[in-house]
Amino acid sequence: MDRRSFVKNGAVLGAAAAALPRFGFAQVKGSDRIKVALIGCGGRGTGAACNMIAADPNIKIVALGDLFPEKLDKAANKIHDFAKKSVGESKASEIIDPSKVKKFSGWDNADQVLAEDIDVVIEATPPVFRTPHYEKIVAAGKHAFLEKPGAVDVIQGRKMYKLAEEASKKGLCVVCGNQRRYDNRYQDLVKRMQDGEIGELLAGQCYWNNGGYIGAWANGKEGTEDTLEYQIRNWWCFIWASGDNIVEQHVHNIDVLMWAFGSDRMPVEVTTGLGGRSTDLPCPRYGDRFSHFAIDYDMGNGLRMASYCHQDPNTTPNVSERIVGTKGIFQGLRLTDHKGKTIYAPGKLELDPYIAEHKYLLSAIRSGRRVNELRHLINSNMVAIAGRMSAFSGKRFKYEWMVKKSEENIVPQNVDLMGKTQDLSLKNPVSVPVPGKYKLV
Ligand SMILES: NC(=O)c1ccc[n+]([C@@H]2O[C@H](COP(=O)([O-])OP(=O)(O)OC[C@H]3O[C@@H](n4cnc5c(N)ncnc54)[C@H](O)[C@@H]3O)[C@@H](O)[C@H]2O)c1
């Protein structure tokens, strides 16, 4: 297969939207009020529920779930406030009534939510819970919007590939929070690259270098940093809960390159993985994760991909993607010649991609089309996991080895993610990985 065909195979929106026979699961008629549940009522979950209202106010939020009970009322009120602004005070309670919406907390909150009469679930918990919760969502036969990332390690990633297939077989829609794929400017530019406008693609670089180490505002009592509660409340600082910043955050930019290259075109080898942690970040207060990564992927056929991310304060921010072709460059959300002169700039942003992703999902559910975007997310997610494994270990390896053979499982053995009640004061000692010592398994 030549490089162009590889690229074309990765066409995303639309191609994945093949019509499938309708099943007896989560059935919605065109004009029904779609019944929604939210699991993970933090910043993004609450935001995603509001984005869903903006996309289609003909929904009813019937259940909220969170590990911690104090999150529930806050989220219900915030979503209600947004609904009031969107549809007016009198109709807002048809979307969510903060006093009547079902609220579930504790380790089995997802089970309780899924026992309600719902059509679609927004899952926006810390990354480590996504896979076990999606397993439950598929078993319950519900459509889903899943935040990114979908998996924190190879074991979860493999499980998600299986769940993506199972969801398709059951006729369940699943759309994910890699929102650049729902941005009309990216869609236009990726299509042009796939159509050869900048020639054969030779190399890509992507960056999530933002200006602060998330975690500087640690959430929890000093002296409790080695407990499950502290680590779940400060999930972004802990490798087991977040997957580290390359997986949790930088997956967005890796996903753009994978999309443009053709989402099923996986790396041949992770040739170099570098990373480390700034010396002024005490562990475990600021978690155990690295503060920076730099990875080089051999994508085969001469194509290389470089990925850079860090979160150190007072450094130059750069969150972007760049792709070099034989005839031009994709950079700064435009196509240029090799000297930097614009050869094509897309039109304006038509719809906030955080809203567009929900429009895509809900309109598919209403029309009976079946969309399943999970495989694309997990492909990019697995590439990010491979980068992390190479940086932690300091080793190069074949990507195929990782996908087929690696047994890396970063979830602490004493944590049961499937919902069994656990003591939140349980100790989970962590340490920062040391390249050369961290074992590739
Ligand atoms: N697509 C994007 O641009 C974007 C932006 C921000 C966050 N995110 C993703 O959304 C997810 C959530 O991020 P956030 O910023 O909202 O974090 P957050 O900490 O604000 O929210 C997470 C919520 O999940 C709850 N929670 C923890 N464990 C749970 C469990 N087992 N069951 C139910 N609830 C549980 C927490 O109490 C919290 O309320 C992350 O995966 C993050 O990467 C995506």
- C-beta 131 within 6 A of ligand 1: no
Contact 91, 11 (CB under 8 A): no
Higher pLDDT, 9 or 390: 390
Closest CA to 152 of 438, 419, 420, 411: 411
- C-beta 109 within 6 A of ligand 1: yes
- In this model, does residue 23 exceed pLDDT 50? no
Q: Residue whose CA is closest, atom 13 of ligand 1?
A: 44
- In this model, does residue 5 exceed pLDDT 70? no
**Tell me, what's the pLDDT at 279?**
84
Q: Residue whose CA is closest, atom 18 of ligand 1?
A: 42
Phi, psi of 429 (to 5 degrees): -65, 140
Mean residue pLDDT across the chain:
92
Name the β-bridge partners of 270: 297, 397
> Tokens at residue 7, please?
């690229």
- C-beta 133 within 6 A of ligand 1: no
**Tell me, what's the pLDDT at 24?**
39
Confidence band of 2 (pLDDT split at 50, 70, 90): very low
- C-beta 328 within 6 A of ligand 1: no
pTM: 0.94
**Tell me, what's the pLDDT at 6?**
32
Per residue in 129-171, pLDDT (tens digit) is 999 999 999 999 999 999 999 999 999 999 999 999 999 999 9
**Tell me, what's the pLDDT at 311?**
87
Q: Residue whose CA is closest, atom 40 of ligand 1?
A: 126
**Tell me, what's the pLDDT at 20?**
36
**Tell me, what's the pLDDT at 217?**
61
CA 180, CA 178: separation in Å to the nearest integer?
A: 6
- C-beta 244 within 6 A of ligand 1: no
Q: What atom of ligand 1 comes closest to residue 235's alpha carbon?
A: 19
Q: What percent of the chain has pLDDT over 90?
A: 83
Per residue in 397-408, pLDDT (tens digit) is 999 999 999 999
- In this model, does residue 74 exceed pLDDT 70? yes
CA 110, CA 91: separation in Å to the nearest integer?
A: 28
As a whole number, mean pLDDT of residues 249-270 equals: 95
Per residue in 191-232, pLDDT (tens digit) is 999 999 999 999 999 999 987 766 656 688 888 999 999 999
- C-beta 291 within 6 A of ligand 1: no
CA of 56 to the centre of ligand 1 (A): 22
Mutate to test the pocket of ligand 1, among 44, 52, 123 (most ligand atoms within 8 A of CB): 44
